[in-house]
């Protein structure tokens, strides 16, 4: 059975990434290398997602969230790479309104909220 609290925690944790990425852009340093951020199965939510029973992983809601979650991690890593390489403009563009990170973050949050709602919570 899917624990809706895991989804709630993930929404908060992924929301916190915006602040982390803004700090990376500002400081030009990251405590986590982009290679560690890019995979979607290293964070707590990713570990939880991939631990769900196969029947749950075959559900449409899971597949949508998993795909968005993977893209979120890749784009967060791209922001870090850009910031660390001195391409602050590209990092800020991704983070800004209509940017790749901004869009995927909103899409992921919406999909997680829809999934939680579908669970009756």
Query: Total domain count for the chain?
Result: 1
- Spacing of C-alpha 48 from chain mean position: 14
DSSP 119: T
| Residue 121 pLDDT > 90 | no
CATH code for position 16 = 1.20.120.30
Length of the chain measured in residues: 121
pLDDT tens digits for range 77-108: 999 999 999 999 999 999 999 999 999 999 99
Give the model's pLDDT for residue 120. 82
Domain span at 22:
4-118
pLDDT tens digits for range 21-59: 999 999 999 999 999 999 999 999 999 999 999 999 999
pLDDT tens digits for range 105-118: 999 999 999 999 99
Pick 91 or 5 by higher pLDDT.
91
Give the model's pLDDT for residue 4. 87
Q: How far apart are CA 54 and CA 107, in angstroms?
A: 24
Mean pLDDT in the chain? 95
Q: How far apart are CA 65 and CA 115, in angstroms?
A: 8
Is the pTM here over 0.85, yes or no?
A: yes
């Amino acid at each position: 059975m899917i624990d809706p609290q895991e989804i709630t925690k993930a929404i908060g944790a992924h929301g916190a990434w915006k602040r982390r990425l803004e700090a990376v852009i500002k400081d030009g340093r990251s405590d986590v290398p982009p290679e560690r951020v890019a995979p979607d199965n290293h964070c707590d939510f990713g570990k939880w997602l991939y631990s769900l029973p196969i029947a749950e992983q075959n559900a449409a809601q899971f597949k949508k969230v998993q795909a968005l979650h993977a893209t979120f991690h890749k784009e967060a890593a791209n922001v870090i790479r850009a910031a660390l390489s001195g391409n602050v403009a590209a990092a800020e563009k991704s983070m800004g309104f209509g940017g790749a990170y901004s869009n995927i973050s909103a899409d992921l949050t919406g999909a997680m909220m829809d999934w939680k709602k579908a669970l009756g919570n």
